[in-house]
Structure 1
């Protein structure tokens, strides 16, 4: 009798518990049980010009029939039919430049979606602002008897190539395409001897990008820039034991588009004027020659790099009796100038010919 009463009590409690549980979950079962299809994984966003490419791995759920891409808080969407490929790709076009968050929802043939918020990825659409901030590959330009020499700096692997366009000896447009991202040197052997500029266009593809972006610049060419052998005459009116160190290996190095400093390649490897003192190599302290040229390759002034005057009273001055001009055809520079010390007193005269190597 006691066991019978105990069994009846357990049954009553169980029925009461089930009734309560069903009551709590009833609102969620109004439309029947909810089924979610498999979610997408390994989400990637590949940036492009006014667009992005989405790449993801589809679920193994065989019932998936389509994917819907949502963005802008689900106010925008794009539908993609499912394929049997494990990797799914889709391009989302017509995007203004900026950052976006995409949600990828898979649907099966019954219309059941994957779990909301389970496949979200952020990425960027690129445009004019991004492109304007790109820099063309830097290049140093010098002249030589073999042609215009280009020294290109190294760049990262987002740089796909650099194109250099220029005027040839025949007056047509020539171009060279450089694929190597490492620093390199090349000579434009058919460049016009009167070349005034080159156009540098560098192509970039962002990491995982799907489109190419460009940075372009017109770079002026100073034809007098290069390596030379300097010959000529030098007279120091105060000390006869100081004489010219000719022939002298030098470089005319640009400081601006129209200004060149004279680099001593034999004695100091710096901007000083080499001389001989009693037959031995020496140089004038605090005196370095800087030539200013105009657009017609004429030397319009000569100044001392270390001041006009420098701390020891030395300055430079152009001698107007000289030819004072660079000849693009022969690639030679002829110039006369003085070193003044003290004040405007002409202490040393130079009459020099720079023959390009």
Structure 2
């Protein structure tokens, strides 16, 4: 009896036909159009672009793209079945986020392919932009060349830098724009107008192949580029102040210090003080205009003797109530000068006989200066009364 039951069951099972599944498909066949290949996402600014290679299936008429769990979609008509072509789908208006996209191929009957997923598709925006910074200049940011051109120096960019744009004023007074690539660490400006600002802005892409270029939020200002320009001696004037040294004779005046002589001079082509006092002794003069970045002094002594080897350089821009009635050899002279608004720009100490021209850098970031006082505290030959000088020259940064 058991054997008979098994045979009946086998007979019933074998009687099903291969096409019986059609009753579940309403008598139709299940068709899958060819799926796309090599799908990927190119990130952008508030948008992205999906790209893929089409299937060679000639029945495909469109592609549907879905994201946000299928709540958003886009349709792209099929125009090619050549697998060497690229289909592109740009989706805009996206929030900064990481998305997953699903791509289906469709034929004219509405049959769709197996899904193609594109994961980790990133969209960039304000959060990414906030991390961007302009490329930094080197610690020694520029070099002024002998031909008055300027070489700007930059550090190596630390991310995928595309370029850095610089805007500057040229010698014709026009605003010019130049670019430095990430592979370059310097840029030469051949027509830069000294003393004018240079601003710069860098651009980046988050990854290779990104759809958009991102710019920093603002331009930064390059460190000021100032060159040394000799102060105009034609504007210099004698301007003796209370307590200054007298002159030895009428043709050894303070004005000898800016007569343009080069190298140590001989008497009487020098400044020669009288002997009516003892060191420290001071002399003063007016440079004829205000200088905002007085930076270097060059002092040249006499060919033989009485040359200062230790002296102070003082400066101020306005003499109103600024001149102390105090001899320069008074112990309190320095403090009173400072209380009157004078700035000690430099204390110069030479180790030679004081004859040759010697340059010295003045203080960094000086205040505006028009009037100069030189206070000699020691002479190389030990003279305690006479002071001799051939020339004094100043340079201003501009």
TM-score clears 0.5: yes
Contact conserved, 1:68 with 1:106, CA < 8 A, in 2?
yes
- Of the three residues 121, 126, 129, the one matched with 2:127 is 129
In 2, the alpha carbon distance for the partners of 1:46 and 1:210 equals: 6
- How far 1:16 moved relative to its partner? 3.1
Partners of 2:154 and 2:26 in 1: how far apart?
71
Contact kept? 1:143, 1:224, Cα under 8 Å: no
Q: Note the C-alpha offset of 1:15.
A: 2.8
User: Match for residue 198 of structure 2?
Assistant: 198
Q: 1:6-85, aligned counterparts within 5 Å?
A: 12-18=8-14, 28-30=24-26, 32-82=28-78, 83-85=80-82
Relative to structure 1, the CA distance from residue 156 to residue 37 in structure 2 (aligned partners, 3 Å threshold; closer, same or farther) is farther
Find the residue that maps to 1:182 and give its secondary structure: coil
**1:120 corresponding residue in structure 2:** 118
Query: Within 2, Cα distance between the matches of 1:111 and 1:274?
Result: 93
Secondary structure, in 3 states, of the residue corresponding to 2:365? strand
Cα offset for 1:76? Answer: 1.0
Alignment of 1:47-196 (within 5 A): 47-82=43-78, 83-86=80-83, 87-116=86-115, 118-140=116-138, 141-142=141-142, 144=144, 146-155=148-157, 158-178=160-180, 180-195=181-196
TM norm structure 1? 0.58
Q: CA deviation at 1:191?
A: 1.7
What is the aligned partner in structure 1 of residue 389 from structure 2?
none
**In structure 2, which of residues 211, 217, 220 is the aligned counterpart of residue 218 of structure 1?**
220
Given that residues 56 and 81 in structure 2 are in contact (C-alpha distance below 8 angstroms), is that contact kept between their aligned partners in structure 1?
no
User: Alpha-carbon deviation of 1:354?
Assistant: 6.7
Q: 1:292 aligns with which of 356, 360, 365?
A: 365
Q: Aligned partners of 1:28, 1:119: CA distance in 2, in Å? A: 28
SS at 1:291's partner residue? coil
Higher strand share: 1
Structure 2 contact 168–199 (Cα < 8 Å) conserved: yes
**Could you give the per-residue CA deviations for residues 40-87 of structure 1, whole angstroms, max 9, x where no partner exists?**
222210012222111112223222111001111111111111122323
Distance change (3 Å), C-alpha of 1:31 and 1:159? farther
Q: How far did residue 25 of structure 1 move?
A: 6.7
8 Å CA contact 2:195–2:226 kept in 1: the answer is: no
Whether the aligned pair in 2 keeps the contact of 1:53 and 1:89 (CA below 8 Å) is: yes
CA distance in 1, matches of 2:393, 2:17: 105
Cα gap change, 1:211 to 1:183, in 2 (>3 Å): same
Shift in Å, 1:219: 1.0
CA shift, 1:31, in A, is 5.8
Task: Please report how far the alpha carbon of residue 95 of structure 1 lies from its aligned counterpart in structure 2 after TM superposition.
Answer: 1.9
Contact map agreement 2:56 2:82 (CA 8 A) in 1: no
Q: Distance in 2 between matches of 1:187 and 1:107?
A: 58
The alpha-carbon deviation at position 37 of structure 1 amounts to 2.0
Check whether the contact 1:157–1:181 (CA below 8 A) recurs between aligned residues: no
Question: For residues 211 and 147 of structure 1, do their structure 2 counterparts lie closer, same or farther at Cα, with a shift above 3 Å needed?
Answer: same
Partner SS state of residue 219, structure 2:
strand
126 and 9 in structure 1: CA distance in 2 versus 1, 3 angstrom threshold: same
SS of residue paired to 2:210: coil
